Amino acid sequence: MPRVDRGRGGEVATKKTTAKVEPKVKVVDYSFGAQTYQIDPERQKVYRRFVEIETGRASAIFASWRASNA
């Protein structure tokens, strides 16, 4: 029977790892009324405490933000 060495320092194939670059998400804080919202301009999404808000209100807030940054 052939002798099998297991776990005694044999060569192990290694993969060359590449560094993954995380895309930077730019979220802007914007005060609207008495609340502060987070706006993601790339996705055109509006969040309050990082929870997406309803579409109708988000549209109004996003439009106001765009007008103030134009």
- Report the pLDDT value the prediction gives residue 18, as an integer from 0 to 100: 75
The more confidently predicted of residues 18 and 1 is 18
- Beta partners for residue 37, in sequence order: 30
pLDDT digit string (tens) for 22-59? Answer: 667 689 999 999 999 999 999 989 999 888 889 999 99
Tell me the C-alpha distance between 37 and 54, whole Å.
Answer: 12
Q: What are the residue ranges spanned by the domains of the chain? A: 28-68
Residue 63: predicted pLDDT: 93
Task: Identify the bridge partners of residue 45 per DSSP, sorted by sequence position.
Answer: 40
C-alpha 60: how far from its chain's center?
A: 23
